Structures are given as C-alpha cells and as structure tokens.
Amino acid sequence: MEERDVWACLPHRGPRWESLVKPQLERVATREAEVTVEVFQEVLAAIEPRLAASSYLPFKGLALALPSCAPDFLRTTLPRIAQLALAVETLFERLPEQRNVGEAAFTCLETALTHEQVACLLANALFGTFGDNPLLSSFCFHTVLHNQHTATLLGILHYFERVCHTMPPGRITIRRQSLSAEQIPNWRECDASMCPLQVDLDLRIEDALDHLQVDFANRAIGGGVLRGGCAQEEIRFGICNPELLVSMLLCPPMDHNEAIVITGAERFSIYTGYTRAVKWEGDYTDKEARDEDGSVTTSVVAIDALMHPMDAQYAEELVVRELNKAYVGFCPVGGDHRPVATGRWGSGEFGGDPFLKFVIQWLACSAAHRDKMVYCAFGAAELRDAVNTWLLNAGLLTDGTPSVTVDKVYQRCIAACAELLRLAKAQPSETSLPTVFDLMCPHQPEPTLNQWRWCVAL
C-alpha cells in the first residue's frame, strides 16, 4: 500500500505562497478590482507562468459555461472560492489523522475531512496552486476550464456555487482498504450462498439510495476527469459529486489488492447522456439518508478492472484477479452489508467481457455477504434479457431465489472460460463464439459451431 504525504505539500507550505500565490488569491478574495474573466485568467497565469505560453488562454470552456452559472458568479462566488483557497492556512493547522478501522489482515486506512476542508482543497485546484510540488501539480482544473465540452466544468462551478452559499454539514471519509492473501477466499471452496440479484434497465447507480455504489475506476482514481474524460467515473466525479475529486489528491494508484471507499460526498447536479454526449442539466438535492452529524450515508467504492484484457481475461489467473479486486471493494466494514449497485464494470471503455464481469461481480457480492446485487443495465435491454435467460437456463434459481453456492458458480465459470480460450485459439477468425452465459448453461446448443453442444456441470 503506497503512501503519499499530501499534507506536507499543501500550497501554503510552498516557497511561493507568501510572495506570489497568496497575494494573487487576495486580489480576487478582497475584490481589489472588479473580478472579471480577464482578471481571473491573469491571476491563474501569475500563479502558473506556463499558462501564458500555452494554448489554454483565454479559457474557452469558461466563456461557454458562464452563461449557465448564476449571474453573480464572478462578482460573488469567485471571491468566496478564493477565500476558501486562502483558508488552507487555518483549516489545515491541525492535519487530518489517518486511522486503521479494519480488523486483523483487513487493512482500512481512513482519513476524514470536513466539507469545508474538501472545498478548500478543490478551490486551490481551481486556482492551480499545487504547482510547486511535482507530485501534486496535476491536481489542477486548467484543462477543465479550457475544454469546450463544458459538462464537467459546469458541474464543478455549480458545486462551488452551492457550498459557497451553504456549506454542507458532516464530513467525508476516504478509506483505502486492502486484503492480505490469507483474507481472500479460496474461490473453489467458498460455500457462501449466492446473494439475491436484481437487473434494472433504467436505474442509474448514483440513484440507488442506501446502496454501496460502484465507481468503474481507473487504477489512478478519477481517471481522466481533469483531462476531458467523460465516461462513468468522470461523470460521477466531475458532474454529480465533485467532492469525490479530493480522492485524486490523497490516493496514489491502487494495487491489485486495494479498493477505495468514499463515504459522505454529496451529490449536487443531474446530467443526461454519456461520454461526448453528456450534458450538465442542473441542480440536485441529495435524497440519501444522513448520519447524526448531517453527513449523507452515500458510499462509493472505486475498483479498477483490467484494461483491454482481450482473450487473456478468460485465463483463471485474471478471472481471480478481477474477483479479488471486486471482493476487496465489496467487503463490509463495521457490519455494513447494504446491497451493491453496479453495472458494466470493466466493460465498455475497459474492453472486458460484460457477461464474465457480471458473473465476477455477483460472485464477489455473494462472498462478501452483501444483501443483494443490483445490476444497472443502462438501457441495454439485450443484456438484461441475456441475464434473465441465463439465470433460468443455468438452473441457478429456485422459485426466483439463488439456490447455489459461490464455489459451484465459480467452477462453472472457470470451465466456461477455459472453453472460450480453447475456441478462440482454435478458431481465431470466428466472430460469433458462444458467451460465458452460453457455456455455463447445461444443454444449450451453439448454432454457430455446427451443432456443438457442451455442458459445464455443477
């Protein structure tokens, strides 16, 4: 588990803070002059001199986004954001403590921040004040301000409008959890019952209240959100819950046995579309339940799948890698067995087999004794229908309830993957190979293989 001493690298500890950075922030915070787009750009260019020589100025994305912001954004909100950035001197006088909330070989390193501390760090990212430290210099919103695809920028600016008006109560916890080899199940012998399952065509993961919500993470959490990316993780971090962005500052890239769980990040915006068609659509009032201190109980788990694994993903070693990764993320801490809301994790942009990833996530949820797995199909009716057909034909349900154990489903899955590997090698030009679902169903013919029939027994 790699460590990163962020607190020693905060902007006010840098060599230019007193002489340059702080005076520039005060220029905006005190409204020394009328705060205009030009003044904002001058301040950012003074803090980061390389901006002046780049193609980023003027910020085209900012010009496009401002008409959708509140009319007094430049006059009122931006000075308050500068005040938040300056508050780094007082808000971090006492540094946040990291504590282990895990048990035995289950390591859970947890850091808690107030919403004001998170807003302070994000305000410094907006003004680009982390540039003195090479380790943290990429935690900066310059690209977002320049990008003419403005959905992420609008999500971030709206977040600042909200917190500058009313700071949310409570705190956000960021927990990096890891398991030793001894704590990982022996998948061939795991006798936990398969958990209940729901496939929902319309539900979005972020709308699944009182669930552990899966972030289809990159190994470096946040992925390309600050570089113009707009897949599932980037939408969640940049538009829905910008407070999640602080994890990019605090968390180094994940190891194979690590996951990151963030609890308490509020949701501020809604959106439509996906990837390049995504659009910020306006304000959202978080409907999640709250703890006694006012924190929302939303928990987001970041787990990174293999990137473009091709046929190698069917090798047992890589299936186990994905199983272990999902299991580490789904392992309950403090008795939290809430259902898991997930979807096409490791598929889509990552290029994995959605059928195999479905089985892997269901196995991991079951081994972690989660109450249920809710699979959000994002409108893909054919995937929902394939899952329903598979569950019926594979004999995994009795009266609509899973009736088998993890080890049995795992063994069937591995046998199916082995057959897929064999077929891929034997017929490399075959474009219509059976799916993992097909091969896990007893007595299911595969018409593209000349009456070939195969059964993986329980």
Helix (H, G, I), strand (E, B) or coil at 172: strand
User: From the candidates 42, 110, 206, 234, which is the catalytic residue?
Assistant: 234
- pLDDT attached to residue 133: 80
| Residue 267, Ramachandran bin (φ over 0: left; ψ between -120 and 50: alpha; else beta) | beta
Q: What is the mean pLDDT of residues 175-189?
A: 93
Q: Nearest to residue 273, comparing CAs of 149, 111, 125?
A: 149
User: From the candidates 132, 233, 243, 258, which is the catalytic residue?
Assistant: 233
pLDDT tens for 439-456 read: 998 654 443 333 222 223
User: From the candidates 110, 206, 215, 353, which is the catalytic residue?
Assistant: 215
The DSSP-derived string for 90-117 is: HHTSSPPPEEE---TTEEEEEEEEEHHH
pLDDT beyond 90 at 159? yes
- pLDDT attached to residue 53: 81
419 is catalytic: no
166, amino acid identity: T
215 is catalytic: yes
The rounded mean pLDDT for the chain is 90
Q: What does the alpha-carbon distance between residue 280 and residue 264 come to, in Å, rounded to a whole number?
A: 22
Are residues 436 and 416 in contact, defined by beta-carbon separation less than 8 angstroms? yes
2 is catalytic: no
- pLDDT attached to residue 293: 95
| Alpha helices, DSSP H, located in 427-452 | 436-439
pLDDT tens for 391-430 read: 888 888 777 788 899 999 999 999 999 999 999 888 776 6
pLDDT tens for 243-294 read: 999 999 999 999 999 999 999 999 999 999 998 899 999 999 999 999 999 9
pLDDT band at 98 (very low <50, low <70, confident <90, very high): confident
> Is the pTM above the cut of 0.85?
yes
CA angle 305, 308, 313 (to 5 degrees): 70
pLDDT band at 104 (very low <50, low <70, confident <90, very high): low
| Residue 335, Ramachandran bin (φ over 0: left; ψ between -120 and 50: alpha; else beta) | left
